[in-house]
């Protein structure tokens, strides 16, 4: 549904943004995560089980809350991006943006002509409130959309100054898992090559006009990231929260006799 993007405004006002992942494909879980007050909720079509129909149902469940719905598309592909935007998501996240050319293509896919190349069928879809807000939605043409490009490779870090200069990208989001893999070993966050790449990426993004985003990891908490200058973090996952709460419950209660 067409509405103001509270998360984007929050970031533009200089405030931090805290989001969660949605991987359970459950509208009830999505509604709970929104009601507790996350600034954004990321529906993961790259690594999660959802499709555009189930993503729409998750967004409908969150619609009573100001929580921004964000879709991570499977790939930086203009058809995938078009379909995601037609659902009415308030943020769009593309993995593996490795160059300024790829960043420019991402932005063009998000915008209607003449600024971009997004296909037009807005009167039919949820993004324009099924045509009820069509004129406003077309006039907006991405102004309320939060555009997030993931930096996940040494190539992307090498090209980051050029990527950061691309108009239309709002958040440059460091993907530590894929970046660690590209540095030599998945999950080796103590690798000097990885540490240097992250430090360089953080500094370039802080010196740019973009917001710095990322994920916590074992030796780097979300709160620590925010304290050292991150603007946006995805701090939690519904799957991991459920898993960890269940493990903790069993640890406390299994074997306790009456």
Each residue of 108-155: pLDDT tens digit? Answer: 999 999 999 999 999 999 999 999 999 999 999 999 999 999 999 999
- Domain positions in the chain are 6-253
Which is the catalytic residue, given 6, 23, 47, 176?
A: 47
Q: How far apart are CA 50 and CA 165, in angstroms?
A: 32
Confidence (pTM):
0.96
6-253: CATH homologous superfamily? Phosphoenolpyruvate-binding domains (3.20.20.60)
pLDDT interval class at 1 (50, 70, 90): confident
Q: How far apart are CA 219 and CA 213, in angstroms?
A: 17
Q: Under 8 Å CB-to-CB from 186, ≥6 apart: which residues?
A: 177, 180
Cβ atoms 22, 47 nearer than 8 A: no
User: Of all helices (H) and strands (E), which one includes residue 101?
Assistant: helix 100-110
Tell me whether the omega of the peptide bond preceding residue 117 falls within 30 degrees of 0, making it cis: no
Please say if the pLDDT value at position 258 is more than 60: no
Q: Would residue 78 show up in a list of annotated catalytic residues for this protein? A: no
- β-partners of residue 18 are 233
């Amino acid at each position: 549904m067409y509405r103001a993007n509270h998360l984007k405004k929050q970031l533009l006002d200089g405030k931090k943004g805290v989001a969660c992942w949605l991987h359970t494909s459950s509208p009830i879980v999505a509604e709970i995560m929104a009601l507790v007050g996350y600034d954004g909720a990321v529906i993961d079509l790259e690594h999660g089980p959802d499709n555009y129909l189930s993503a729409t149902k998750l967004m409908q469940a969150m619609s009573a809350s100001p929580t921004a719905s964000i879709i991570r598309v499977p790939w930086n592909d203009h058809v995938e991006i078009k379909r995601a935007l037609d659902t009415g998501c308030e943020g769009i996240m593309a993995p593996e943006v490795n160059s300024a050319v790829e960043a420019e293509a991402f932005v063009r896919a998000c915008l209607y002509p003449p600024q971009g190349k997004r296909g037009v069928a807005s009167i039919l879809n949820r993004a324009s409130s099924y045509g009820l807000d069509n004129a406003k939605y077309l006039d907006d043409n991405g102004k309320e959309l939060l555009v997030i490009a993931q930096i996940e490779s040494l190539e992307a870090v090498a090209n980051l100054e050029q990527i950061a200069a691309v108009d239309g990208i709002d958040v440059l989001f460091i993907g530590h898992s894929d970046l660690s893999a590209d540095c030599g070993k998945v999950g080796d966050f103590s690798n000097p090559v990885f540490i240097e790449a992250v430090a360089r990426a953080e500094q370039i993004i802080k010196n740019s006009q973009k917001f710095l985003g990322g994920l916590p990891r074992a030796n780097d908490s979300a709160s620590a990231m925010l304290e050292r200058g991150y603007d946006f973090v995805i701090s939690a996952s519904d799957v991991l929260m459920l898993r960890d709460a269940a493990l903790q419950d069993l640890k406390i209660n299994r074997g306790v006799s009456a």
